[in-house]
Amino acid sequence: MARPVIGIPTQTLHAIEGIPARLPASWVMNQRYYLAVTAAGAVPWMVPLLHEDPETLREIYDRLDGVMLAGGVDMDPAAYGEPRHPGCGPSDPSRDAVELQLARWALAEGKPLLGLCRGLQVINVARGGTLVQDIASELPEAIKHDYLPTEGFPRDFLAHPVRLVPGSELHRAFGRDEILVNSMHHQGIRRLGAELVPTAVAADGLIEAVETNNGGYVVGVQWHPESLEARDPGVSHLFRAFIEAARRFTGARMSPR
């Protein structure tokens, strides 16, 4: 049986530590996401940010068995109809457009969808939700969520626990009610999108994961499991469940009626 193909959108290369991005723009993405999908038994596909070419983007999408949305820069608040908060960081509008379109197609058609960190936020916005643009300044009572590598924290630093909802895809993957997660974000869900249900919550009440309530495989987590496979076997179970869902989706679509 052919291995499922998982599309992972890229991001626009921005200036890094004083080194300017080259023109014309380049599309890049952290290799951890592609390695995690490959290790789980799928074929990763780097999706270019063809936001001005919807026909080609749709041709790419149609060849995918599942979509994974990776971490990255903040979403432009214009994507969810709000003014920019002073604490909102750099954004990538072309990536926003591509990921929102892919997410909406997948949600409408039941194609398996997995969102990691920013990817959770994209799924929420795709379903009409909104975001807290800067947790520290907007929710001063919240715990610290921004344990960033730029501040000296390793990507696999276990920052805080989250409670998992029994019966959820996450609970089945990890097999317990609470897990420790890394935390490299300063934004989060404010208003939950339609047909999404919280399936993990931090101690301060911030939603740390969502799934859908209308069937199909949709999982979004606010942490970075691709950096934790060596720390928790549940991470491998999560990626394998996603890949298996992609395999089933394509098998059902291709089977004779």
Positions annotated as catalytic residues are 117, 224, 226
Q: Please report, as a single letter, which amino acid is at residue 221.
A: V
For residue 250 the two structure tokens come to 């394509």
39 exposed, middle or buried (CB, 10 Å; 0-12, 13-18, 19+)?
Answer: middle
Q: Contact at 8 Å (CB) between 36 and 76?
A: no
Q: Tell me how far apart the alpha carbons of residues 191 and 41 are, in angstroms, rounded to a whole number.
A: 35
Handedness of CA 71, 239, 39, 56 (dihedral sign): negative
Q: Tell me how far apart the alpha carbons of residues 175 and 237 are, in angstroms, rounded to a whole number.
A: 10
Q: Contact at 8 Å (CB) between 132 and 188?
A: yes
152 exposed, middle or buried (CB, 10 Å; 0-12, 13-18, 19+)?
Answer: exposed
